[in-house]
């Protein structure tokens, strides 16, 4: 098992916390879980250099000792589209550079959880997108669906694009990003009917975010058993 590439239906779909839950679930299977946030924007300066909060959380939850520069090779200060932030700093993001970083992490890990930036087609440069990066990594994809008005279209378009890229869709997670979405159950049922991949987890709106609690609501394939969390029984 090499790991997963985590993408979302949009920015703020909840990719980071779902990724943390997946990391914890894999650790519970006894895995050494490497992590990667290839590209981040909206970083802050620290004594150690630019740091992105999401990448730091991934690094903290990993049980593999990885340097930050390996976890998050491209980090930008401005909280804007990554390719624009890179252009403003005269940097061209290179997929092969990121792939070699992934290989280094894989050598130290049983599996790697990679969190993309934004949605599936977020640009990396003038002609490549996050989808091209996922194609190069060749990891099964997990789609985080931010459950809110408009998510059906976003989710189904994302699924179509993932499959068109020839990548396996390992499953999707329904993440309740707002407290009062109308017809939540009906929207989830619609996606279950229209997405030919398993619903791996239904995450309610949580006042306090906790990766272990999220892990308890995520069902990943386990080579030793097929137990499912209580919510799926």
C-alpha distance across the termini of the chain, in Å:
26
* pLDDT in the model for residue 231: 41
Catalytic residues: 37
Provide the token pair at 80: 């804007």
Best CA proximity match to 190, nearest among 170, 179, 174: 174
Question: What are the residue ranges spanned by the domains of the chain?
Answer: 3-226
Cα(161)–Cα(166) distance, rounded to whole angstroms?
9
> What would the pLDDT profile of 36-68 be if each residue is shown by its tens digit?
999 999 999 988 889 999 999 999 999 999 999
DSSP 150: T
* pLDDT in the model for residue 1: 75
DSSP 158: H
User: 143 - beta bridge partners?
Assistant: 7, 172
* pLDDT in the model for residue 227: 37
CA dihedral 210, 211, 217, 220 (to 10 degrees): 180
> What would the pLDDT profile of 166-221 be if each residue is shown by its tens digit?
999 999 999 999 988 999 999 999 999 999 999 999 999 988 899 999 999 999 96
Judge if pTM exceeds 0.85: yes
**Fold held by 3-226:** Rossmann fold (3.40.50)
Alpha helices in 138-217 (DSSP H): 151-164, 184-194, 211-215
- CA 36 to chain CA centroid, Å, is 9
């Amino acid at each position: 098992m090499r790991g997963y590439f985590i993408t979302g239906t949009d920015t703020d779909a909840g990719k980071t916390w779902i990724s943390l839950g997946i990391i914890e679930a894999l650790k519970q299977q006894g895995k050494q879980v490497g992590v990667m946030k290839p590209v981040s924007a909206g970083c802050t300066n620290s004594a150690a250099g630019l740091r992105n909060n999401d990448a730091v959380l991934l690094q903290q939850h990993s049980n593999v000792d990885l340097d930050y520069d390996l976890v998050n090779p491209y980090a930008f200060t401005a909280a804007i589209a990554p390719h624009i932030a890179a252009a403003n700093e005269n940097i061209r993001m290179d997929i092969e550079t990121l792939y070699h970083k992934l290989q280094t992490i894989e050598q130290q890990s049983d599996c790697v959880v990679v969190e993309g930036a934004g949605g599936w087609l977020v640009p990396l440069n003038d002609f490549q997108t996050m989808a091209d990066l996922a194609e190069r990594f060749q990891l099964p994809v997990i789609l985080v669906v931010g459950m809110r008005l408009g998510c059906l279209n976003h989710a189904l378009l994302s699924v179509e694009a993932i499959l068109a890229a020839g990548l396996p869709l390992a499953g999707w997670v329904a993440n309740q990003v707002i407290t009062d979405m109308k017809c939540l159950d009906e929207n989830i049922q619609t996606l279950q009917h229209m997405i030919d991949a398993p619903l791996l987890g239904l995450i309610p709106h949580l006042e306090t975010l906790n990766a272990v609690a999220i892990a308890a609501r995520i069902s990943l394939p386990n080579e030793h058993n097929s137990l499912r969390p209580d919510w799926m029984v």
